[in-house]
Amino acid sequence: MGFFTDTSICIGCKACEVACKEWNLVPDNGLELRGTSYDNSGDLGANTWRHVAFVEQTRPAGQRPVALGMPAMGPPAGQQAADPDRDVSWLMMSDVCKHCTHAACLDVCPTGSLFRTEFGTVVVQEDICNGCGYCVPACPYGVIDLRPGDGRAWKCTLCYDRLRGSQEPACAKACPTDSIQFGPWDELRERAQQRVARLQQQGVPNARLYGADPTDGVGGDGAFFLLLDEPEVYGLPPDPVVTTRDLPAMWQRAGAAALAAAGIIAAAFLAGRR
């Protein structure tokens, strides 16, 4: 099971953020405007499991925005535009933990706090987490985080308790435009590919899928996205790679080095006895 988030129909209402916090009892994280358009939650973290990003873009006046139906935004009534020759538009995206197929956080967790559920999602068992923080740098997306004052790791569970009760996640349930869609991963991917083809036919050549390729560096994401611009524009890594991919080779080299060192020590010991 997984998420397909269609950013082309996200209206930035933040209903998903509110529903996530209410259902999962996620603490307040300040919610202060940060001078980056209408973004007041910053990024994903221990206290923000859904983050609605507002990517503010400017372009020459009269030029069509990246997405169809994305209007040029003039200044508020009674105010003058800072630059009357340029229009402003927004790309909106509700971001979330990607629930990677090859999840590095699972590889490095020493307590088994992180586990793969029967739905294919990745969940933290906070009562087992010892707060070591190994999972934080292991995540290629910078999603998982330690909660201040608590010390344990927290992230989106894809509403594991709701899934076990045959309910869809709270964010998908609350989304008024169906920008966030939940269901079997293969069905969502097929639907997403059809949506991209339709948008491209309608004159949105930048429409693309992100995280839906099972051959990418993380084996595909359980939560993938339809984007209207390059991933970097949304703050996403263009080529995510599971950070633990080199661990087997590293352990092999370490083992070989340890055996070589042991051999040298043994040879020196025997030479000393002679």
List binding-site positions: 10, 13, 16, 20, 97, 100, 105, 109, 129, 132, 135, 139, 156, 159, 171, 175
Of 117, 155, 157, 113, nearest to 131 by C-alpha is 113
Q: Look up tokens 């927290």; give the residue.
A: 154
Element (H, E) at 182: strand 180-183
Tell me, what amino acid is at 159?
A: C
Question: Where is the binding site for [4Fe-4S] cluster, in residues?
Answer: 10, 13, 16, 20, 97, 100, 105, 109, 129, 132, 135, 139, 156, 159, 171, 175
Rg over CA atoms, the chain: 23
Of 56, 49, 11, nearest to 33 by C-alpha is 56
84-89: long-range contacts at Cβ-Cβ below 8 A with a sequence spacing of 24 or more?
Answer: 85/60, 85/61, 86/58, 86/59, 86/60, 86/61, 87/58, 87/59, 87/60, 87/61, 87/62, 87/63, 88/56, 88/57, 88/58, 89/56, 89/57, 89/59, 89/65
- DSSP 3-state of 116: strand
Give yes or no for a contact between 63 and 87, defined as CB atoms under 8 angstroms apart: yes
Give yes or no for a contact between 6 and 179, defined as CB atoms under 8 angstroms apart: yes
Residues with Cβ < 8 Å from 85, sequence gap 6 or more?
A: 60, 61
